[in-house]
A and B are shown apart, each in its own frame.
Chain A
């Protein structure tokens, strides 16, 4: 049973997500909140672990990205998912950098939400061709210009950070997968073209998410421990 925290300011949407999660037997609704402040207070009081954070990016009193960072400090193994109206490039990249596992479009059908959460937990992180293309372009331009290699990757900025991180990390196979996705091929088509399974493609993508994240899980655990938020044995 995965404990899910929903944070969404639109009451209809919040109710829609909350009921979708509640109906799913594999998921448990931990709380359904409307603002950043409520979420922060709730997190401060609730000692139980959170497995999944489903949050809107545009909260009335703060950014969903800040909420993701806060949750990851308290619950390093939590999987944050972002609710996005448009799934546009800048917001998605910023979410991935903050540590999101994936993103969900607001106009998805009701049944999809719970299933999408489960899919992502199972490794089916989405990636749009636009993001794949942007990561690849940056990656290739940095390969051609090795000067920044010795410099630390910038920690802010939607485009520079993931590419800077990706530079040393992308395997040839991951690059091929990214290139095909950038050309519009679906996961299954990529799997066929690469003669691998869809599961392998999903693994590549999920790995990519982890690599693009500014604070990897390991770093988050270390940081949380250092700050005394997490005991070393927990």
Chain B
């Protein structure tokens, strides 16, 4: 159907060489459900406002005159048209995007368009024909068209493209980075210090989800080929909006530190319900033709957000700096939101994009501040902790320094007590025993002077040996033997006994401590003393060799050629004492005796 053409020429800029024309009125043929109507319309032609809930086709005829004919290249700038379209000039197809027959596909109504006019195509009287296919709720339609010299018109187009498409892309990428950073923080910043499961900070999660949802919303402005067909893509973007609002509210809860309040658990459930209800509400509005469902959802969201944000802003006075910063961002966005509302809903601004996509970056900056301030706080805490730890370490060191001398004193006291106890025992068993024997010998008058002298010499020798034992290296039986010989040498010579010394180099036996060495010294002294006092021997042989596995032990033999004794029936105190001492220190003692050869054999490992 053809209608008469009405041409309205508005001179935007005019130079002697060229003129820029804005075409704002068109003869439109609109086809809805197979029925066409024809009318003269003003541009912008906002499809959703004129045919809400219906998809359809429209053809716009626009005419303009040029006099004189320009001799420079011309172009056409279309701020918005679609969702699919085709453009003809003077009967020649200039540009075509999308499927004009099949709806709900790719959306080409998002970006501004620029069309070069083929040289020679322009005439004095020109006819511009624009055909569109519009889907439901996709901001289809046609914005006022600008025709003019290429340099002027392209500049307008490029400025529009930069703001709407490049700007949106930059904002989307920035939002995505902030979202990923927040989610990464949420995933990695795990608090293991408390009891129970490791805890993550929900502030980062909600910030991440909000930014991710907003990224989708902003990116939608530049995505002509969505991942899924319309209306599913629309449902997804509506859900993203709900997720953004709910996440922002919960993010504010964390910022204000209201997490522990009882009301917040209800708020969280309410938000979750909103998100869950979003897809069905959007479906009902976009597919089932019940726009009330989405209106109700938006109303619920708006009321919740309004109530919450009012409270959030009221509480700002006595709040933390991060709370105030977020509140400022909210206020700014509310202001921008009001401007967008006026621009898109109350007035008829069809061509542009919302400003809120840019102002929402404030939330990203607020989050960056929160992260930085927390990092600063954590660093300060760590430094304080370190300082505190250093102080504690220093204090502990000081305590230890005080403690060490005390412990050393205790160890010395213990050592002294052990030494004293050993000396007392030595005095009791050795010197004391011999002196009491000497006294007894003197009292009963039966002993000879030699016997008494012998007993007293034994006492003095025992005393010397006890003093020497204080310096004996633990386990060094070689030193022990050498020392006994040194102490008894004069007595051996006095008895006229020939001493055969056959002592090899002996490795120390580590398990024989000072006490055991004292016991062994007593045993050896007893053995020597017995030979010198009772055996009437002329020869005494002392042999000591390494013995046992790895030669770590020793075999010690004291052999004499004296009269001998019966070791099995002997009740002499000395022999019994030797057996007891051997048993106490875990060495083997073997006594072999017959006239002419007696042997005391000691084996130690």
Contacts and interface: CB of A to CB of B under 8 A. Distances in A.
Interface of A: 86-90, 107-108, 128-130, 133-134, 137, 181-186, 189
Contacts of A90: 471
A108 B464 CA distance: 14
B247 to A, nearest CB: 71
Contact of B482 (A87, A107, A129): A129
Interface in B482-510: 482-483, 485-486, 489-490, 501, 503, 505
15 contacts: A87-B464, A88-B467, A89-B471, A90-B471, A107-B460, A129-B483, A129-B485, A130-B472, A133-B476, A133-B479, A137-B473, A181-B482, A183-B505, A184-B503, A189-B501
Given A89-B471, A182-B478, A183-B478, 19 more contacts: A86-B463, A88-B468, A107-B460, A128-B483, A128-B486, A129-B483, A129-B485, A130-B468, A130-B479, A130-B483, A133-B473, A133-B476, A133-B479, A137-B473, A183-B505, A184-B478, A184-B482, A184-B503, A186-B501
A212 to B, nearest CB: 17
Contact of A182 (B467, B471, B482, B490): B482
Nearest to A88: B467
Contacts of B476: 133
B43 interface: no
Contacts, number: 55
A88 B503 contact: no
Interface of B: 457, 460, 463-464, 467-468, 471-473, 476, 478-479, 481-483, 485-486, 489-490, 501, 503, 505
Contacts of A183: 478, 482, 503, 505
Most chain B CB neighbours (cut-off 10 Å) among A108, A130, A184, A189: A184
Nearest to A107: B460
Contacts of A129: 479, 482-483, 485-486
Contacts of B489: 186
Given A86-B463, A128-B486, A189-B501, A184 B481 contact: yes
B500 to A, nearest CB: 10
Contact of B464 (A86, A133, A184): A86
Contact of B486 (A107, A108, A134, A184): A184
Contacts of B483: 128-130, 184
Contacts of B463: 86
A137 B479 CA distance: 12
B471 A134 contact: yes
A133 B490 CA distance: 21
A67 to B, nearest CB: 23
B501 A86 contact: no
A129 B464 CA distance: 14
A140 B603 CA distance: 29
Contact of A88 (B464, B473, B479, B505): B464
A108 B468 CA distance: 18
B349 to A, nearest CB: 91
B103 to A, nearest CB: 96
Nearest to B506: A183
Contacts of B486: 128-130, 184
B456 to A, nearest CB: 9
Q: Which of A108, A182, A183, A185 has the most CB of B within 10 A?
A: A183
Contacts of A184: 478, 481-483, 485-486, 501, 503
Nearest to A181: B482
Contacts of B473: 133, 137
Contacts of B505: 183
B482 A89 contact: no
Contacts of B468: 88-89, 130
Contact of B471 (A87, A130, A181): A130
B449 to A, nearest CB: 15
A107 B479 CA distance: 23
Nearest to A90: B471
Most interface-central of B471, B486, B505 (chain A CB within 10 A): B486
A185 B501 contact: yes
Nearest to A137: B473
Contacts of B467: 86, 88
Contacts of B479: 129-130, 133, 182
Output the residue of A86, A185, A189 with the most chain B CB within 10 A. A86
Contacts of B460: 107
Contacts of B472: 130
Nearest to A159: B471
A86 B460 CA distance: 9
Nearest to A129: B482
A90 B473 CA distance: 14
A107 B478 CA distance: 26
A181 B483 CA distance: 10
Nearest to B505: A183
B555 to A, nearest CB: 16
B40 to A, nearest CB: 111
Contacts of A130: 468, 471-472, 479, 482-483, 486
A13 to B, nearest CB: 14
Contacts of A186: 489, 501
B431 to A, nearest CB: 12
Nearest to B484: A184
Contacts of A107: 457, 460
A106 B489 CA distance: 16
Contacts of B490: 108
A212 B457 CA distance: 32
Contacts of A87: 464
A184 B544 CA distance: 12
A179 to B, nearest CB: 8
A229 B490 CA distance: 42
Nearest to A127: B486
A107 to B, nearest CB: 6
Contacts of A128: 483, 486
A128 B483 CA distance: 7
Contacts of A89: 468, 471
Which A-B residue pairs are the 8 nearest by beta carbons? Answer: A184-B482, A129-B482, A184-B485, A88-B467, A89-B471, A86-B464, A128-B486, A86-B467
